[in-house]
Amino acid sequence: MSNTTVAALQVASITSSLMVAGGIATMSLFDIPMLQAQPASRSLPSIRWLFSRGSHIMPTAAFAAGTGFVSLAFLALPPAAAAAAGGNVLTRILAGTKTRGYLAAALCNFAIGPVTGLMLPTNMALIKKNEGAGGTRSVQAYKDGARQYKPGQWSVKDSIAGKGEGNQFKALSGPQEKTPPGSSAAEDEEVRGLLGKFAKMNAVRAALCMIGGVVGLCTSLA
C-alpha cells in the first residue's frame, strides 16, 4: 500500500478517535451540568435528543477509528520477524512496536462498546422517564403524531424502535422544549442524580477514545 494511502488512513483514524473523545467529553463537562440546572420536565427531552443524535454519530465514528487502527496494525507487521518465525502472526505482532501501538489504539476505541453496555440501565431509566411524561426525541417527532400515546403508554423498546416518531435518521429538528406535565422537586432531584451518573460513566468513554487517539498519533509519529 502506498505511503499516501497509509498517511490518509492515519489521519482519518486519529481524527475520528479524537473527534469522538471531544464530542463525548463535551456532554459530560458542559451539556450535563446545564441540564442538571433545569427541572426534569425540560432536561428529560433534551437528554433524549442528545441520546438520539449521539447514537447516530459517536459509535459509528469510534468503530471506524478502531477499524482504521486495526488496518494500520496489519500494514505495520514486520516482514523480517515473519520470515524468522515461519510467518507466525503472533510473533510478528509481538515483534512490531507500531503494530502493538495501533492495536492498543484500536482496543481503546472498541472498548467504548462494553462501557456503553454498562451505561444502558441509566440511559434507559432517563428515556423511560421522558416517555412516561409524554416526551419525544425531537420537536418534529412531537408534531408528527407522537401524542397519540398517552403518558406512560410508551415502552423503552418502543422508543428505541422509534415507534410513532418516524425515521430517527430523518429527525433533524431540535429537542422538545419540555414534557407536557411539570415535574416535582423529588422528580427533579432524581433526574439530576441519573444525569450525574451518566456524566461520570460517559467521561470514561471520552477518556478511552482520547487515549486511543493519542496512542495512535504517537505510534504514527514514531
* pLDDT tens for each residue of 124-149: 899 888 888 877 777 667 666 555 55
pLDDT in tens, 30-81: 999 999 999 999 999 999 888 887 877 888 999 999 999 999 998 887 766 4
Q: How many CA atoms lie less than 13 Å away from 28 in the CB half-sphere?
A: 17
Residue 180's pLDDT is what?
A: 81
Hey, what's the torsion of the CAs at 93, 113, 9, 79, to 10 degrees?
10
Hey, what's the torsion of the CAs at 67, 68, 73, 75, to 10 degrees?
120
> The whole model's pTM is what?
0.81
